[in-house]
Amino acid sequence: MITFTGVAYPTAVMGALGMIFGALLAYASIKFFVETDERIMRIRAILPGANCAGCGYPGCDGYAEGIVDDGAKTNLCAAGGADLSKGIADILGIETDAASVPMRASLKCGGTPEASPRKATYNGIADCIAAHAIHGGDKACTYGCLGYGSCARACLTNGIAIADGLARVDRDRCIACGACVTVCPRHLIKLVPATHTIHVRCSSKDKGSIVRSFCARGCIGCKLCAKADPAFVMDGFLAAVDYAKPPVANDAAIAKCPGKCISGDMGLIF
């Protein structure tokens, strides 16, 4: 038989312990309280909230803390641009860091299914990383875009879609976070200055005869583009745009390219 005393005693003990532990927790919360700098919260409030980590910090919270605690530059957020940089500087009461050059993602491949055929039939997961893991992928050109959309799924702003077997970047939606660059198993997507709108859509460094055997729109290393415009340089057998130079000034290189691998931005209307 359970007596009143038998019930009351353990209840009183548990109640007393609860009060003691509660008091200890209250004391600890006061003793070890770390006050958050108000500037961090104000900066966090104006950040875009994409949490893309393109700034080099783990999300917008990490970047806000990095600015205040580590002295990170105010211009590291590609999504926010110059206006955000100024807003952050105003909160901190400092001069705005020099505006960074706006960047955009660009695909270095123009090998559509018609121009660059498949060497095998792939029946696995519709994912570039998975396809590439199986003997380097099913595309005959080992440098070409596989087109299974790993970059599109990684894009935080829905700025990439697969059309005609290739990743197409929407310049208006791209915030240059670099997620697509990281996820592409063939490293075909690069962040380039947004001021440049003409690019070489090929990544193969093979000789022209080899390129031709795999892709009708590949670079054959003829150097005609480099002769037409100083913005083009040669990287072995592969033509490339030197983005440190002024943008391509005319379309002569596009017209002269026998491989038709030089083109303007491949925008996509959703």
What pLDDT sits at residue 270?
Answer: 39
Residues 232 and 167 in one domain: yes
Task: Give yes or no: residues 213 and 130 share one domain.
Answer: yes
* Closest C-alpha among 173, 156, 188, 146 to residue 269: 173
Residue 185 lies in a domain: yes
Whether 11 maps to a domain, the answer reads no
Per-residue pLDDT reduced to its tens digit, 18-31: 788 777 777 776 76
Are 88 and 157 within one domain? Answer: no
Are 86 and 109 contained in the same domain? no
Q: Copy the structure tokens of residue 89.
A: 């500087």
Please state, for a pLDDT cut of 70, what percent of the chain lies above it. 92
Residue 52 sits in which domain range? 38-92
What would the DSSP string read from start to end of 106-153? EE-----TTTS-BSS---S-S-HHHHHHTTT-SBSSTTS---S-HHHH
Any domain includes 225: yes
Give yes or no: residues 184 and 60 share one domain: no
Q: CA–CA separation, 211 vs 201, rounded Å?
A: 13
Same-domain pairing of 149 and 245:
yes
At 222, is the pLDDT very low, low, confident or very high (cuts 50, 70, 90)? very high
pLDDT in tens, 48-67: 888 888 888 988 999 999 99
Tell whether 64 and 166 lie within a shared domain: no
Q: How many CB atoms lie within 10 A of CB 145?
A: 27
Question: Could you identify the residue written with the tokens 């063939």?
Answer: 186
Structure-token pair, residue 212: 């031709």
251 in any annotated domain: yes
Burial class (CB in 10 A: 0-12, 13-18, 19+), 81: middle
Closest to 229 measured CA to CA, from 217, 237, 244, 241: 241
Average pLDDT on 209-224 reads 95
Residues 81 and 139 reside in one and the same domain = no
Q: Across the strands, what pairs with 263?
A: 199
Residue 33 pLDDT exceeds 70: no
Q: In sequence order, what are the beta bridge partners of 104?
A: 192
Give domain status of residue 153, yes or no.
Answer: yes
- CA 122 – CA 138 distance, rounded (Å): 6
> Which of these three, 54, 71, 92, is where a domain ends?
92
Give the pLDDT band of residue 234 (cuts 50, 70, 90): very high
Segment 245-269, tens digit of pLDDT: 999 887 888 889 999 999 887 544 4
**CATH classification at residue 212:** 3.30.70.20
What is the reported pLDDT for 218? 95
Torsion 58-64-66-69 (CA) sign: negative
Asked if the model's pLDDT at residue 206 lies above 80, the reply is: yes
Please report where in the chains the tokens 């950040």 appear, as a residue.
47
Considering the domain architecture, whether residues 62 and 109 belong to the same structural domain is answered as: no
State mean pLDDT over 130-150.
95
Quick: pLDDT tens for 88-124.
999 999 988 877 788 899 999 999 999 999 999 999 9
Q: What CA–CA distance (Å, rounded) separates 63 from 195?
A: 26
| Residue 262: exposure state from Cβ atoms within 10 A (0-12, 13-18, ≥19) | buried
pLDDT higher than 60, residue 73: yes
User: Taking all residues of the chain, what is their mean pLDDT, rounded to a whole number?
Assistant: 88
Domains: count for the chain: 2
Residues 198 and 122 grouped into a single domain? yes
